[in-house]
């Protein structure tokens, strides 16, 4: 009976990466450069168009794009939590994150993880802005607001608890190197996922991961791998060697 390879049971995604960010903070600088760095690396990346008509709620098309992305890069900035759109987007991302096929990576651009986790500092100020926008005229509207706030808080905390990267503590705040590291990490993980490794070959995944890591895939240079094949053979006297 033929063995089942890991690639044969993997789900196919439309996008490798979905970028979640606050446009007014990072669209024309960090996120724009990160997007092009990912695309130039051959990583299929979703970044919403500036022309998207954004209302109070994210649309079905965006929800589908989130569901159809393998990785999520969440760029937390000072005003990320001031947008109900971003927060609803984050809630959906964290829902998908609980599934084994999806992985979220929080990037703390100009805020600290604890600010996101506890909604304090600049994140707390931004979060207070968005909660005040909700009307308190009708009982059902108030209930809806309270439910939203609860979901948003949980999503922010869950995202901040994930292993991520903080700009000011990485490469002394050098954005270019920081960005290169993000692209390298995502590229490496995508290569590992796309490898066709027979699950019955115990221990192969770790060895392949070590090989890929040593290749330094983020460097535009030629790499060569030599594979030495050890085979059993017998001499004229019937002795076996390897």
Backbone phi and psi for residue 13, each to the nearest 5 degrees, phi listed first: -110, 150
Catalytic residue among 67, 89, 112, 115, which? 89
DSSP assignment letter at 109: S
Q: The sheet that has 45-46: what strands, in order across it?
A: 45-46, 15-20, 69-76, 103-108, 165-166
d(CA 92, CA 84): 12
Known catalytic residue: 216?
no
The string of DSSP letters for 20-86 reads E--HHHHTTTHHHHHHHHHHHTT--EE---TT----SS--HHHHHHHHTEEEEEEEE-TTGGG-HHH
Residues in a beta bridge with 76: 108
Helices 84-97 and 139-160, interaxial angle, to 10°? 60
Three-state SS for 75? strand
User: Per the structure block, which two tokens stand in for 199?
Assistant: 């699950």
Q: Which residue has the tokens 């959906």?
A: 92
Enclosing H/E stretch for 103: strand 103-108
Residues in a beta bridge with 14: none
CA of residue 142 relative to chain centroid, distance:
33
| Active site residues per annotation | 89
């Amino acid at each position: 009976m033929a063995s089942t390879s890991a690639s044969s049971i993997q789900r196919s995604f439309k996008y490798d990466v979905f970028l979640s960010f606050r446009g007014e903070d990072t669209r024309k600088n960090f996120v724009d450069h990160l997007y092009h760095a990912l695309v130039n690396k051959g990583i299929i990346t979703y970044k919403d168009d500036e022309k998207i008509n954004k209302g109070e709620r994210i649309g079905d098309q965006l929800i589908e794009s989130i569901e159809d992305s393998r990785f999520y890069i969440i760029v937390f900035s000072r005003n990320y939590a001031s947008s109900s759109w971003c927060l609803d987007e984050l809630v959906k991302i964290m829902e998908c994150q609980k599934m084994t096929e999806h992985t979220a990576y929080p990037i703390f651009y100009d805020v600290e993880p604890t600010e996101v986790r506890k909604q304090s500092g600049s994140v707390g100020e931004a979060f207070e802005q968005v909660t005040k926008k909700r009307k308190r005229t009708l009982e059902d509207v108030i209930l809806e607001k309270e439910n939203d706030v609860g979901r948003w808080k949980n999503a922010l905390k869950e995202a901040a608890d994930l292993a991520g990267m903080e700009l000011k503590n990485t490469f002394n705040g050098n954005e270019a190197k920081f960005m290169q590291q993000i692209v390298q990490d995502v590229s490496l993980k995508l290569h590992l996922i796309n490898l066709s490794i027979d699950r019955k070959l115990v221990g192969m995944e770790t060895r392949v991961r070590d090989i890929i890591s040593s290749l330094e895939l983020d460097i535009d240079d030629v790499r060569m791998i030599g594979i030495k094949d050890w085979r059993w053979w017998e001499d004229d006297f019937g002795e076996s060697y390897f």
